[in-house]
Amino acid sequence: MKPKRTLVGLPVYQPGKPLEEVKRELGLSEVIKLASNENPFGCSPKVWESLKEEESFTAMYPEGLAPELREELAGHLGVAPSKLIFGNGSDEVVQMIARTFMEPGDEAVMADITFPRYKTQTVIEGGTPVEVPLKNGVHDLKGMARAITERTRIVWICNPNNPTGTIIRREELESFLAEVPEDVLVVMDEAYHEYVDDPSYPDTVSLLDRDPRLIVLRTFSKIYGLAAFRIGYGVAAEAVVTELNKVREPFNANRLAQRAALAALGDQDFVRRCFEANRDGMKQIQSQLDEWGLPHFPSQGNFLLLDTGRPAEEVFQCLLRKGVIVRSGAALGYPTHLRVTIGNEKQNERFLDELAQCLGKRRD
């Protein structure tokens, strides 16, 4: 057995530790998971009502192009339905983009440190990832523009950036786009778009009309709370979508996922409530960290990267033993940081209580 050359040395992706696994391994019953930026409020109750309608269709393939969801989402975003492509999570859209546009030897520019799938998919396609260090946790767009060569096919921008949560602003993006050659695609991964409350955050979907190089990625896994169903999407010029459709698996967005996403989209009240709860939870955690003097990046997502000042793995293990799963910064390139998902109020309290114990801090 000989895998393709590009897989040599490629690590297997390590996701956040699953809740069930930690319960089993540590014999704990009260475990909370704040490790994968999932929605602590689940999804809209409308999702389960609408799934009942699928009961009699389980033996049938889904419609590959997700026509109902496509129409509804296009209306919601104010774009033509032909500009949408769905994936088995936005993860799959990342894969489709690399598969469609990268030839061996091509380059893709991305931040260091950012969401790891851009790099992995580039490597699998035989491309070269060109990583430009973040500046204070923020994408260095000037540095990224300088890193573009005649071999560059794609620039990946994660906005808000995972794991720092920082954003790049409209003007910064526009001046960057003015420097990017016409044949280079710019992928804006906006998995956490719905959590952002900074008014200078760019409205990339409206930029698409005049800039056919843009691909905007979003997902139903985060604020819509449908990570289990695996459905995300890209918005791009029709010519780009046509090419992506050539590599798309025919039934990639499954029937239940399409139905669930349609129902979730229809419950914007739920989305608004989650947005507000996240903003409150973010303040709840940040104000305690500020009191302790623990630095953290200014996050616009549903997670926070904080500096414990100790080896991350040690603090991660300590929290784990107490039944709180977070993400160790060690695996993310921040050896003294933790990335914690903003939970509900009770979960945030529990996290702060246990963190206080692990770090020897007081809580008043």
Ligand X SMILES: Cc1ncc(COP(=O)(O)O)c(C=O)c1O
Which chain residues interact with ligand X by CB under 6 A? 37, 89-91, 115, 158, 162, 189, 191, 219, 221, 227, 232
Alpha-carbon separation of residue 62 from 55, 59, 105, 225, 250 (angstroms): 13, 10, 37, 21, 9
Q: How far is the CB of 258 from ligand X (least distance, A)?
A: 14
Choose between 90 and 288: whose C-beta lies nearer to ligand X.
90
CA dist list (Å): 328 to 23, 122, 125, 272, 276: 18, 25, 29, 30, 26
Distances (CA, A) of 295 to 129, 161, 255, 298: 30, 17, 44, 10
Least distance (Å) between residue 332 CB and ligand X: 11
Residue 360 CA to residue 123 CA, distance in Å, equals 42
Task: Name the residue nearer to ligand X (CB basis): 189 or 194.
Answer: 189
Least distance to ligand X, CB of residue 127, Å: 19
- Tell me how far apart the alpha carbons of residues 251 and 87 are, in angstroms, rounded to a whole number: 9
The CA–CA distances, whole Å, from 115 to 50, 72, 164, 174, 180 equal 32, 29, 10, 22, 21
Write the single-letter amino acid at 337.
H
Nearest approach, Cβ of residue 90 and ligand X (Å): 4
Question: Given the complex with ligand X, which of 113 and 141 has the nearer CB atom?
Answer: 113
Minimum gap (Å) between residue 355 Cβ and ligand X: 22
CB of 227 to ligand X, least distance (A): 5
Encoded tokens for 54: 């699928």
Tell me if 292 sits within 8 A of 335, measured CB to CB. no
Spatial distance between the Cα atoms of 291 and 302, rounded to a whole number of angstroms = 21
Complex with ligand X: residue 180 or 226, whichever CB lies closer: 226
Question: Toward ligand X, which CB reaches closer, 73 or 352?
Answer: 73
* Smaller CB separation from ligand X, 69 or 352: 69
Residue 221: C-alpha distances to residues 157, 168, 251 (Å): 19, 22, 19
Nearest residue to ligand X by CB is 89
- Between 221 and 308, whose beta carbon lies closer to ligand X? 221
* Residue 37 C-beta: closest distance to ligand X, Å: 5
Helix (H) or strand (E) holding 24: helix 19-26
Measured from the CB atom, the residue of 219 and 288 that comes closer to ligand X is 219
Could you tell me the smallest distance in angstroms from the CB atom of residue 228 to ligand X? 10
- Sign of dihedral through CA atoms 126, 334, 157, 251? positive
